[in-house]
Amino acid sequence: MINTATAPVAKIIPTQLEKFNDIRIDDYFWLNNRENPEVIDYLNKENEYYQKMTAHTKEFQNELYEEMKSRIKEDDESVPYLYNGYYYITRFEIGKGYPIYARKKGSLTAPEEILFDCNELANGQPYFKLGGMSISPDNSLVLFSTDVIGRRIYTIQVKHLGSNEIFADKIEKVTGSAVWANDNQTLFYSSQDEVTLRSDKIFKHKLGTSQEDDVLIYFEKDDTFSVDIAKSKSRKYLTIECGSTMTTEYRILNADNPDGKFKMFQKRKRGVEYSVNHYKDSFYIMTNKDDAENFKLMKTPENATTAENWVEIIGHREDVLLEDIEIFANYLVLEERTGGLNKIRIMSWDGKEEYYLPFGSETYTAYTSTNVDFETEILRYSYQSLATPSSIIDFNMRTQEKVVQKEQQVLGGTFDKDNYKEERVWVTATDGTKVPVSMVYRKELKKDGKNPLLLYAYGSYGHSMDAHFSSTRLSLLDRGFIYAIAHIRGGEDLGRQWYEDGKLLHKKNTFTDFIDCSKYVIEHKYTSPAHLYAEGGSAGGLLMGVIINEAPELYNGVIAQVPFVDVMTTMLDDSIPLTTGEYDEWGNPNVKKYYNYMRSYSPYDNIKVQAYPNMYVSTGLHDSQVQYWEPAKWVAKLRVAKSDNTVLYLDTNMDAGHGGASGRFEALKELAKEFSFLIDLEKIKH
């Protein structure tokens, strides 16, 4: 029985927004001031309403939480890897929500040295995240960064690993990304603009000095670019990477010479992306130069890095996306994607061997893992599928023998992957394009249109949504749900063109693909509109906003996590974090054709008076990527427009940011809310 409570009604204060003679009246513009007590009061009222309306599910939420937690091996640890003479391990202890980082010198039987116990660091903090962690070349110091708000604003500190003393050096309000030079005294870090949070500066810091004395090494003036600092796997070079959605540029400096000047690798050219890997006397470059849309691999001497010196090693292929490379002394490993699936290709430098790792499933994910050493014939990679728990595998590239170092344990004694069926179907979209959908469900399930089905998608930034295993998802599958991922355009699942066909003035393909996938699972009796649920977060939340405006009748319920739904106002405000860097993804609304196109799909601006599905909307007050006011305004406007009695919940975490709650168990509580929302809707129906 659903509880009854009166939904809060946000007060209306019309704000007129005008661009290109188009006037938008935003009744809830006032909600974008988190310092205003009335805003906090409104968010609290929405939270109270959500709590009251779902009070009858509280016990069940707790049951789900305990159920999901019981499958997790609480005293878990990572597969150790050897780096610079030490084995590094991340482990968890029973009942504790945060990891412990440790190392052992020379041998796994050596005494454990704890680097950080994040449970102690997080004590008393409503939110905690350990960001970058980097060991000095002589193994005596570790630099680390912490965020205690959830806004991705970090403080960097340095700890002596012999004495555990934390140095007085404190570098505040930075991105958390930092690396050591080879002198064990100098570190380089990136910092961000305080308003937009764009990472725009690289500084140099000498141990024992104050942050005010740090030297600005690089400032990125172009507000569509952001910067980062890294160190090559060879440990010889420090690299400054400047990147926008479609253009990159690197600068390099020998790490033995921290007071030297960074040298341009290859000047930026709009539309040309490249990344660099150093080995011996050469750089290996992955690039889309010369219209190599799916990327190719090139090589250049380390003392002649400009493009005219680049020589092709692996050419461009129309049907294969080159995603990454891993270099070893005797082998080159390529991570490729073809037909929507990951492939790992191994080639010996002498040309005598070349083969792909064999993978059996049709809905899997495989990628190279931690490979920090050139001088080894062992490749470490990870494999999982929708029904197969994640494994870490050590593969001998010479003998082709593999050793499974670890398979994720699913506790509780009831899980058997043979109880589930994995399936991949191809949906014909409105324009004739074939869109893959990966599904998993219990084998005994009948396709009679009565099964609840949760359809998930993202579809932006060229981010591919691979078919991965989740032990928490079993709580849905074992209650009769089908779980499906729609690999819609806007991701890079089927190569670079798949991304190009779902961005800028082709963005609507992302939305129509999802709607077409929804229609397919209904037509083929996997489910029906009474049992179909959709879920997406961030840019996937934008997708949710569009589909409920365009095809609300297809869905019984929708979960929108930190949804990017007020596209117009956000993209017209260049003071908001990330906005200017997004122009290559969505378009610049200060240009009329992009303004008009975005205006035609922006969820907040296209709310209609109509019936809407049941909805659970979540956000974080400190979110730096999708500001809390977007979902808050959206829900307020939907409340007034919707012409039915479906439920509409806004659940704001007053302590968290874009990634939700910190700590592995707190995140399960958020998941339990989402699952109980879905299962409760099914119970109501039955």
Cite the active site residues: 538, 623, 658
Contact present, 561 and 629 (Cβ < 8 Å): no
The count of other CB atoms within 10 Å of the CB of residue 667 is 17
Question: Cα separation of 100 and 118, whole Å?
Answer: 6
For residue 56, report the phi and psi dihedrals to the nearest 5 degrees: -70, -15
Contact present, 590 and 529 (Cβ < 8 Å): no
The count of other CB atoms within 10 Å of the CB of residue 430 is 12
Question: Cα separation of 143 and 179, whole Å?
Answer: 8
Paired tokens of 306: 């400009």
Task: Compute the chain's Rg from CA coordinates.
Answer: 25
Question: Cα separation of 439 and 676, whole Å?
Answer: 21
Parallel, antiparallel, or unpaired: how do β-strands 129-135 and 237-243 relate? unpaired
Question: Cα separation of 206 and 213, whole Å?
Answer: 9
Question: Cα separation of 52 and 359, whole Å?
Answer: 48
Parallel, antiparallel, or unpaired: how do β-strands 248-254 and 237-243 relate? antiparallel
Contact present, 495 and 466 (Cβ < 8 Å): no
User: What's the first-to-final CA gap in the chain, in angstroms?
Assistant: 12
Collapsing DSSP to helix, strand or coil, 73 comes out as: coil
* Sheet of 112-117, strand order: 81-83, 86-91, 100-105, 112-117
Query: Residue written as tokens 């921290």?
Result: 258
Contact present, 490 and 502 (Cβ < 8 Å): yes
Task: Please state the three-class secondary structure of 427-448 as a single string.
Answer: EECCCCCEEEEEEEEECCCCCC
